[in-house]
């Protein structure tokens, strides 16, 4: 049983339809051979490597009545039809059409009853290429870990080295028993209370330092910074999303 940290769980608690908490990436590839089935080839390639990144094979199990943060459990019934999606752009498949599609896909929240990731193979890109849109929840993987996983998932040559398949043993995906979750939650609660009371001395020193800093700032108030103008990047969040790549920002 691997319980989420407070930081990781905060990405679940703070998620709303207007502010999804998944991280994502878009990769655009050169045209494949004429007889290639891009979706099937990529799905089979990734399926053989899922076990190399534990995040892809685990899902959330909630604590009873939210006594504590959720835990990760192994998913023995991974539904690849949900996690691997195949879509095509309408002709001519311009970059603007690709960005519009990705923006719409990015607005869709991940299903928390399943492992928190999806791959979209997007064909019909102008020029004969294709794209792969990757969506993974920040509660399970951050940007740095996601970048570290890319060399494991993607190959750097047309003929990648074969990977060792996992053992055929089946891990138990059932959530921990209710008694175990309650016991662990109460143990953690009392530990936090004990540590809190033991830290009163340090808390008092920190409050004194803050008070001293506030007094100094009031005696020498800083120059007020001008209010930034309202732009696309500091407006209130809404449901619709806009995807803009560096190419278009530069132009």
User: Cβ(24)–Cβ(133) under 8 Å?
Assistant: yes
| Residue 136: CB atoms within 10 Å | 25
The CA distance from 68 to 83, in Å, is 28
Q: Quick one: which of 76, 69, 50 has its CA closest to 173?
A: 76
Q: Are 72 and 61 in contact (CB under 8 A)?
A: yes
Burial of 97 (0-12, 13-18, 19+ CB in 10 A): middle
Token look-up 């794209």 returns: 131
Catalytic residue among 22, 83, 137, 138: 138
> What DSSP assignment string belongs to 148-169?
HHHHHHS-SSSSPPP-PPPPS-
SS3 132: strand
Catalytic residue flag (residue 138): yes
**CA 131 distance to own-chain centroid:** 19
Catalytic residue numbers read 138
């Amino acid at each position: 049983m691997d319980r989420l940290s407070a930081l990781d769980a905060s990405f679940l608690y703070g998620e709303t339809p207007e502010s999804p908490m998944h991280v994502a990436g878009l990769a655009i590839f050169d045209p494949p051979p004429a007889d290639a089935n891009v979706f099937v080839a990529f799905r089979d390639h990734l399926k053989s490597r899922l076990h190399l990144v534990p995040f892809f094979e685990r899902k959330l199990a909630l604590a009873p009545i939210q006594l504590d943060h959720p835990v990760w459990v192994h998913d023995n019934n991974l539904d690849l039809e949900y996690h691997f999606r195949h879509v095509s752009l309408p002709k001519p498949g311009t970059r603007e059409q690709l960005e519009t599609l990705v923006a719409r896909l990015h607005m869709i929240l991940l299903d928390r009853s399943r492992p928190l990731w999806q791959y979209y193979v997007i064909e019909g890109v102008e020029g004969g290429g294709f794209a792969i849109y990757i969506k993974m929840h920040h509660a399970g993987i951050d940007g740095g870990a996601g970048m570290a996983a890319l060399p494991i998932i993607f190959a750097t040559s047309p003929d990648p080295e074969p990977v060792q398949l996992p053992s055929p043993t089946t891990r138990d995906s059932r959530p921990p028993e209710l008694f175990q979750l309650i016991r662990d939650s109460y143990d953690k609660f009392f530990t936090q209370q004990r540590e809190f009371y033991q830290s009163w001395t340090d808390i008092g020193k920190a409050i004194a330092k803050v008070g001293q800093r506030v007094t100094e700032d009031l005696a020498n108030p800083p120059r007020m910074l001008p209010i930034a103008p309202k732009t696309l990047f500091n407006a209130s969040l809404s449901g619709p999303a806009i995807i803009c790549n560096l190419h278009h920002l530069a132009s």
